[in-house]
Structure 1
Amino acid sequence: MRKVYLFVTLLVLLCTLSVPRLTSAAESTNAKDPVLLLYDSKALRTPLAGNVEALQRLLAGFSTPVTMLSLEQYKEGKLHSFNKVILVRNKSDELNLPDAFLQDLKAYSGKYMQIGSGLPNTIQQALHLQEQHTVDDTINLKISDLNQTSIAVSNMAWVTSFEGKSYGTVKSSKHPAEAPYSITSGNYGYIPYLSKGNLSELAASYVLKDWLEVSTAPQHYVLISDIFPFSNLELVNAMADRLYEAGIPFVASIQPVFSNWDYPAMQRYMETLKHLQARNGSIIVQTPIVDSTDSPDVNKLRNELGSFLDHLARLGIVPLGVSAEMYWTYDKHYAIDGLSFFDSGLILPNQAVQFRDPSDTAVAFYSTAYTIDANELLRYMDEGNSLNPLPMNTAIAYSFPNDASKLETLLTTLTSSWTTFDDYKNGGHSVQTSASKFSSQNGHLLMNGQEVHLNNQIQDVDAAHVYVQQEEKSLSGLFSVQNKILIVLIGTTLFLFGLFLIIGHRMYKRKYMQSWRQ
């Protein structure tokens, strides 16, 4: 029996080590409470369209697991399965909430936040809230060192009195006195207005951090995105050198390659990635572009992405995370076959949603960074000011320009900024396939537990390469002889034809001259 027990134990251990990590992203949700995100409408084709999606991405930026549900789908008792609940109210003309939800809310003892007006009476009383409504208005919003003017709003609630903590301020010509943008008190939070694409999207993160009870200090990163195999690699290397000399650590989001690794172009790409890594750059892998969910390539995602990561391992390149559009975290197929290698991720805004197996529950990375385009962020800052840390880990994104003058502008912007940026690899990040494990620890890069020694020397790659290999054919020799014989016959025929043409021309000319003389 002891031998059988020992054999079974060893068998289980071997199976555990040999099976790829299928749910690392899901396992990395750590101890954070999941949030139930309810909404009465997604406000499509209205000025508030996209605010639910914006909230989803903010929650992902705080590494928060989320289950999303429409109020129309709400079932009695659902509320009591969660310690944190957020309700987004976009239907300003419908004030009544479902009876099942209201009954559960009366007995609910967890944390509750509402976005949009129409707070239940019990919560209004708990906040000692008084507010006014305006139909159409233009507001100025300010929070921390960020501000935006002339934001058009409709049917927005203005908080006139309350008890608790306030975040940011809003004012307008109709309401010249400053009012709080959002408030919290005890278990309750309230954001009267949230819209995608303006400062309210970032402003909501300040109240969310406290309401979610996030205590870790946020980090700020420089993200250089859109680095492809056929980018101008000389400019990529020059950029890395300039940032290294300026003491600016950066994150490079690279496009994976699933084939043709022996091509010179791909080898030069790999040499550039090693150079980026040696110049204080942290490598993260950008998820592949999904053209169509009907493509058979979608089914190969896990094998191809795993093979690419193992190829990086053979070259001493250490990826530390993944950058993905947010909808990937709400899709079972992409989460398991694409994101499960990584416990750290950068959440990008959705560009072209291509669900394959959608889910109402999102996976959350152990370590996440919210991404924002640098030009968008500059709209909310006074020129020349440095950026104070945002409430969540933030990657300020710059798309790599394949143009020397535009790159110079980008580098001048970064090197002249007073903003302090953090080194991504100082955090704890882990990437694992069935054959390789990458990680970072206190600024050191590790591969399978061994520290990787960095080399900033770029190896020359021979451009001579046969891109299409010629297969040997059994009858090629015979065909070659036949071709030569045909060439000789055709050449001889043309020569004789030309000779006869010349002789005929002379004979005709001689006869013509004789007839003319007569």
Structure 2
Amino acid sequence: MRRKRRITLWGLLLLLVVGGGLASQSTSAAAATTTADRRVLIVYDAINPTVSGQKKLAAVQRLLASLNVKTQTERLSDYQAGQLTTRRYQGVVTLNNWEQGRLHNAAFVRDRNRFTGRQLHIGSGLSAQEAHRLGATRQRVYHQQFVLHDGGNWQLLPFSTDLTLLNGLSRHTQTFGTLRTQGAGLAPHAYGVVHGKSAYLPYLTADGFSLTVASRTLAALFGQSRTNRPLLTITGVTPYTNLARLRRLGQRLYQAGIPFAVSTTSVADNTTFRAFKRFAQTLSELETENGVIFLQAPVVGATNRQSGQLLEQLMVGQLNQLGQRQVLPVGISAPAYWNQDRAFRRHGLQRATNVLLLPNPATTTFAKQDNLGTTFTQTWYGLPLRSLQTVENGHHAPGDLSWAVPTALTVPMPDSAKGLTATLKQVTGLTTRWYDPSQQLTSRLTSASATFRYDHGSYFLNGREIDVGNSTVALPRFNPRRKNHVALKGYFQVQGWILWIFFTIVLVILVIFIILGRRIYRRMFFQNSKRR
């Protein structure tokens, strides 16, 4: 008896140890997953178009996506007390676009002061508590024009009416770029500042030299130190582009040894016309000249309940039509706001591992806006090359710049022979070491019936390597059935369930009455039989 008890006790002890170990491992894995998945909360006071507030907000969202950091964007007035905690967020960004508005949320300031995660303040309104975390003191300057210096590069900045700079930085503080005035009345000050888990940028622009320095500041704050090469990207290509000029551009870049990408729109209908065949053939030729293709997302004019389904059909149709003609895109390009929309992410961006986020158009139309920016295997920040033309270093503008995030230097498709000559002169004259997809890129893109894969210069379709220009491509047909939306569909469905339950109850009651009636009848029958 004692032996059985001992065996039982040892068995229970063993189960507790094993169960505890498994629970510990699962808890550790869950904690690691939670840490990796925690977002950065972006809180902005106002859009304020007079200072390009929307562009600044989109720039922060794109920079963090390029750093592989998920985000959640919140207006200051919508912030709820107790929302900012280290359990939910790994960091917070305060973006101040409207100092004159004096917008304030006491709950946010209180929670931010208690928050122990990473903090970044951009723009005016830096509090004394934030400056203390940066190990510095504040100095406000008015009506100055600064020159931003970084390494051997410098750029003259627009005139600023009000700027908050930092003094008394400790030797443990990381600084990025230096702001100097043209006169001798003000000492040089740091532009980007990182001290521990806190960082500060006195201003932010969505492009230009300042953006490259700001990106290095954000990368340092989030503990990323890798360097990247920029990817030359031709934008604005459509099926209606002058194809001879596009072929000429690709040939000249190939002859100059410059790898490149093309961001192009496409169509899913009328693909049997000769014009589309010539368009696809031109793109296929660019692929053989060390060029890669990004399929650009369609322009959104209006949305409704079926927008996600229609986008799915459109994207799949475009991909399949291109794939059948040996055009295998390596990723999706889209405006930045697409990453803030649940429908556009699910049916558009998330089918690709490589995504190029471009500046937003003047008008943005959402389908299911949720302001929850996600990440991809590689997210490119689209930066216009022309915004770097005023950078001076004695050589060529982007030649000696440091790229902290994957950056696509975009050049619009030339619309004339003169524009083609100017573009080629500008690009070939740069000393930049360009990103080479054939040496560095792996990507995967899926549609309903096909999977495109690119691996260091080799193309694969549904797992089979494709020799672009010499292979015959056959894709399974995909014919999505459009589901018609019926306004009263839910009403009739609920009504049907109610009727079904009602008749079931009635049937049960009838069966009970039948059974009871049968028993009563039999009892009466037996009683009458005994009387006789």
CA 1:103–1:158: 2 relative to 1, 3 Å: closer
Report 1:113-128 matches (<5 A): 113-128=120-135
Where does residue 356 of structure 2 map in the other structure?
346
- Change in CA separation of 1:314 and 1:53 when aligned onto 2, cut-off 3 Å: closer
The structural deviation recorded for 1:197 is 5.6
Give the C-alpha shift of residue 393 in structure 1.
Answer: 1.0
| Alignment pair present for 1:111 and 2:118 | yes
Which of 457, 461, 467 is residue 447 of structure 1 equivalent to? 461
Moved more, 365-374 or 308-317: 308-317
Indicate the residue corresponding to 1:515 in structure 2.
Answer: none
Q: Does the 8 Å contact 1:341/1:431 carry over to 2?
A: yes
| Cα displacement string for residues 315-369 of structure 1 (whole angstroms, at most 9, x for unaligned residues) | 2221110111111111122222222221211111111312222112122222111
**Alignment of structure 1 residues 72-471 onto 2, 5 Å:** 72-80=77-85, 81-92=88-99, 98-163=105-170, 164-172=173-181, 173=183, 175-196=185-206, 199-293=209-303, 300-351=310-361, 352-382=363-393, 384-385=395-396, 386-425=399-438, 426-455=440-469
What's the secondary structure of 1:380's corresponding residue? Answer: coil
Q: Distance in 2 between matches of 1:298 and 1:61?
A: 25
SS of equivalent residue, structure 2 residue 199: strand
User: SS of the residue aligned with 2:43?
Assistant: strand
| Contact 1:43-1:50 at 8 Å conserved across structures | no
Letter in 1 for 2:195: S
Secondary structure (helix, strand or coil) at the match of 1:85 reads strand
Provide the rounded CA distance (Å) in 2 between the counterparts of 1:315 and 1:180. 53
3-state secondary structure, aligned to 1:439: strand
Does the 8 Å CA contact 2:229/2:435 hold for their aligned counterparts?
yes
- The one-letter amino acid paired with 2:452 is F
* Counterparts of 2:109 and 2:242, CA distance in 1: 59
**Structure 1 contact 326–347 (Cα < 8 Å) conserved:** yes
Aligned-residue offset at 1:198:
5.5
Deviations 1:80-130 (Å, cap 9, x if unpaired)? 110111111334357785332233234322111111244344432232212
Q: Percent identity?
A: 25
The letter of the residue matching 1:78 is Q
Distance 1:285 1:269 in 2: 13
Cα distance change, pair 254–90 in 1 and its aligned pair in 2 (3 A)? closer
In structure 1, stretches of 5+ residues that fail to align are: 1-28, 458-518
Give the Cα separation in 2 of the matches to 1:144 and 1:447. 45
Aligned partner letter, 1:167: F
Residue 282 of structure 1, CA deviation: 0.5
Q: How many residue pairs were aligned?
A: 429
Greater RCO (CA < 8 Å, at least 6 residues apart): 1
Measure the CA separation in 2 of the matches of 1:94 and 1:227: 41
C-alpha distance after superposition, 1:163-203 (max 9, x if no partner):
21111011223743211012111111111222446543333
2 CA distance for matches of 1:64 and 1:138?
33
**Structure 1 residue 278, shift from structure 2 partner:** 0.9
Please state whether the residue corresponding to 2:351 is helix, strand or coil.
Answer: coil
How far residue 299 of structure 1 moved from its aligned partner, in angstroms, is 5.2
**Partner Cα separation in structure 1 for residue 103 and residue 423 of structure 2:** 51
Secondary structure (helix, strand or coil) at the match of 1:45 reads helix
RMSD between superposed Cα atoms in Å: 2.6
Q: State the alpha-carbon separation in 2 of the partners of residues 406 and 96 from structure 1.
A: 46
Change (3 A) 1:101 1:452: same
AA of the residue aligned to 1:337: H
Cα–Cα, structure 1 residues 85 and 297, in superposed 2: closer, same or farther, change >3 Å? Answer: closer
- Cα distance change on mapping 1:95 and 1:240 into 2, 3 Å: closer
Q: Is the 8 A contact 1:423 1:443 kept in 2?
A: no
Q: 1:30 and 1:275, CA in 2 relative to 1: closer, same or farther beyond 3 A?
A: farther
SS at match of 2:269: coil
Deviations 1:214-242 (A, max 9, x none): 24332311101122222221222222222
Give, as a single letter, the amino acid of the residue that structure 1 aligns with 2:380: A
Distance in 1 (CA, whole Å) between partners of 2:383 and 2:206 is: 12
User: Which is further off, 407-416 or 268-277?
Assistant: 407-416
Deviations for 1:378-407, whole angstroms, at most 9, x for unmatched residues? 122446322433211111111111423321
> Does the CA contact (< 8 Å) of 2:135 and 2:195 recur in 1?
no
Q: CA deviation at 1:265?
A: 0.4
Q: TM-score, normalised by structure 1?
A: 0.77
Is contact 1:60–1:347 with CA below 8 Å preserved after alignment? no
Matches of 1:451 and 1:217 in 2, distance apart? 31
Structure 2 CA distance, aligned partners of 1:48 and 1:329?
18
SS of alignment partner, residue 440 of structure 1:
strand
Shift of 1:293: 3.4
Using structure 2 for the length normalisation, give the TM-score.
Answer: 0.75
Which residue of 2 is the match for residue 506 of structure 1?
Answer: none
Provide the residue aligned with 2:528 in structure 1: none
Q: What code does the residue aligned with 1:220 have?
A: P
| 1:45 equivalent in structure 2 | 50
> Does the 8 Å CA contact 1:166/1:182 hold for their aligned counterparts?
yes
Partners of 1:294 and 1:223 in 2: CA distance: 32
List runs of 5+ in structure 2 lacking aligned partners.
1-33, 472-532
Answer whether contact 1:275 1:456 (CA < 8 A) is retained.
Answer: no
Comparing 312-321 with 179-188, which one deviates more in the overlay? 312-321
TM-aligned CA deviation for residue 294 of structure 1: 6.2
Taking a change above 3 Å as real, the CA distance of residues 283 and 96 of structure 1, as seen in their structure-2 partners, is closer
- Shift of the alpha carbon at 1:300? 1.7
Aligned partner of residue 335 in structure 1, secondary structure: helix
Question: Does the C-alpha gap of structure 1 residues 325 and 45 become closer, same or farther in structure 2, counting only changes over 3 Å?
Answer: same
Change (3 A) 1:202 1:322: same
Please report how far the alpha carbon of residue 60 of structure 1 lies from its aligned counterpart in structure 2 after TM superposition.
2.8
